């Protein structure tokens, strides 16, 4: 990875890229070390060539789709990558599971990756990174101008808690029920340079921040700016990183649809000269906390911060405004966190673990 990116990378509007973090699991559905075998020691299927990597723990693996020029092709690309990963894992004696946090993951019992980048992070960050068994969904949307990308990322911030509320899929942490709907949201926020970013005036301001963080040794590369949304100066995209990981591909595609339509809509607003809303991060942090704690049952501060609205009301507003259906499909179904708790209570831990496996 290059340490810094460039404004010159922002050349395409509306393209898509989907990154997913998964858990490598054993025959009992428990997270286990497997990324050495799957990433380094065996040859993955062609569709995963150059699109498969490990994360901090040897039980967490990441896939990336190729650049998707037509959003209508997102489902085909997503399923192709997932199917290839499952086949590759099964051929090597593993399974693949997805959630924001795996309910059976106990960080003290799991191995960290040996990649120098991660060793450096572990040494520098210590405890918060040592326990970071999180897994998320990242959606990239291409933007054809760097200043536009920064403006869009600024505006997207209000929408992130709604995404997190609808994606909440991590009630269990280190073996116990946290009482939260997305414990991943809090575990990951313990790292530096995470959570809700502040507003940047333009790309020059963002680039100056990125470079200062590098020059002062605060980060080793731009990839360590782990905010819930960021202009990706390497890919030329706006990257949304708010949702928990999901086992169901249809749930992933609903978030992909929403993020894509949001970015395109905001890009058009930027081109029309809209001034934007410089919302205080503290209010947005409050919305994120509500999403973490209550998930789909949350009441969130409205776009103008004058009142609160239920997730259901916001789903209706956003669906009608953007002409999309996926948010309703997410809201009308049992949430990931609710499903995990129900399965553990009614059928036990093994049924819970099995429900998170990709097939």
Reported as a single tens digit per residue, the pLDDT across 74-109 is: 999 999 999 999 999 999 999 999 999 999 999 999
| pLDDT score, position 350 | 95
Structure confidence at residue 2 as a pLDDT band (50, 70, 90): low
Q: Distance between CA atoms of 122 and 37, rounded to whole angstroms?
A: 22
Structure confidence at residue 359 as a pLDDT band (50, 70, 90): confident
Number of domains in the chain: 1
Sign of the Cα pseudo-torsion (92, 94, 99, 104, in order): negative
| pLDDT score, position 3 | 61
Residue 1 in domain: no
Structure confidence at residue 43 as a pLDDT band (50, 70, 90): very high
Average pLDDT, the chain: 96
Q: At 233, which CATH number? A: 3.30.590.20
Torsion angle of the four alpha carbons 9, 14, 15, 16, in this order, in degrees rounded to the nearest 10: 110
Contact call for residues 146 and 186 (beta carbons, < 8 A): no
- Span 145-171, average pLDDT: 98
Q: Is the pTM of this model over 0.95?
A: yes
Range of the domain at 350: 7-355
Reported as a single tens digit per residue, the pLDDT across 168-204 is: 999 999 999 999 999 999 999 999 999 999 999 999 9
Percent of the chain at pLDDT > 90 equals 95
Residue 255 in domain: yes
Q: What is the DSSP track for 258-304?
A: HHHHHHHHHHHHHHTT-------HHHHHHHHHHHHHHGGG-EEE-TT
37 pLDDT higher than 60: yes
Q: Which two tokens stand for residue 310?
A: 């239920």
Q: Which residues pair with 127 in a beta bridge?
A: none
Residue 66 in domain: yes
Residue 177 in domain: yes
Contact call for residues 160 and 288 (beta carbons, < 8 A): yes
Residue 77 in domain: yes
Reported as a single tens digit per residue, the pLDDT across 304-339 is: 999 999 999 999 999 999 999 999 999 999 999 999
Structure confidence at residue 269 as a pLDDT band (50, 70, 90): very high
- Span 134-148, average pLDDT: 98
Residue 227 in domain: yes
Reported as a single tens digit per residue, the pLDDT across 236-255 is: 999 999 999 999 999 999 99
Reported as a single tens digit per residue, the pLDDT across 286-307 is: 999 999 999 999 999 999 999 9
Reported as a single tens digit per residue, the pLDDT across 205-230 is: 999 999 999 999 999 999 999 999 99
Residue 218 in domain: yes
| pLDDT score, position 174 | 93
**What letter would DSSP give residue 37?**
I
- Span 41-45, average pLDDT: 94
| pLDDT score, position 218 | 95
- Span 104-123, average pLDDT: 92
CA distances from 39 to 42, 66, 92 (A): 7, 18, 11
């Amino acid at each position: 990875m290059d340490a810094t990116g460039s404004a010159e990378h922002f050349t395409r509007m509306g393209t898509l890229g989907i990154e997913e973090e998964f858990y490598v699991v054993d025959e009992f559905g428990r997270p286990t070390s497997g990324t050495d075998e799957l990433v380094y020691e065996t040859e993955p299927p062609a569709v995963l060539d150059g699109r498969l990597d490990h994360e901090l723990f040897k039980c967490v693996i990441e896939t990336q789709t190729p650049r998707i020029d037509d959003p209508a092709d997102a489902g085909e690309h997503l399923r192709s990558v997932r199917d290839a990963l499952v086949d590759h894992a099964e051929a090597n004696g593993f399974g693949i599971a997805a959630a924001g946090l795996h309910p059976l993951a106990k960080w003290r019992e799991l191995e960290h990756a040996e990649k120098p980048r991660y060793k450096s992070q572990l040494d520098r960050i210590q405890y918060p990174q040592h326990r970071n068994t999180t897994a998320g969904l990242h959606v990239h949307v291409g933007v054809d101008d760097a200043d536009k990308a920064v403006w869009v990322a600024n505006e997207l911030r209000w929408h992130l808690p709604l995404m997190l509320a609808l994606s909440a899929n991590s009630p269990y942490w280190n073996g116990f029920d946290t009482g939260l709907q997305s414990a991943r949201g809090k575990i990951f926020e313990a790292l530096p340079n995470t959570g809700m970013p502040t507003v940047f005036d333009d790309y020059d301001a963002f680039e100056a921040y990125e470079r200062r963080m590098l020059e002062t040794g605060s980060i080793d590369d731009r990839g360590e700016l782990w905010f819930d949304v960021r202009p990706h100066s390497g890919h030329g995209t706006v990257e949304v990183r708010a949702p928990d990981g999901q086992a169901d591909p249809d749930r992933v595609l609903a978030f992909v649809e929403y993020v894509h339509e949001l970015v395109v809509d905001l890009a058009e607003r930027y081109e029309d000269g809209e001034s934007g809303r410089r919302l205080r991060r503290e209010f947005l942090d409050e919305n994120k906390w509500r999403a973490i704690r209550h998930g789909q049952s949350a009441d969130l501060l409205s776009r103008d911060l004058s009142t609160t609205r239920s997730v259901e009301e916001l789903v209706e507003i956003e669906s009608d405004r953007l002409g999309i259906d996926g948010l309703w499909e997410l809201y009308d179904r049992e949430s990931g966190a609710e499903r995990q708790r129900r399965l553990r209570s009614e059928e036990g831990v093994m049924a819970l673990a099995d429900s998170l496996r990709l097939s």
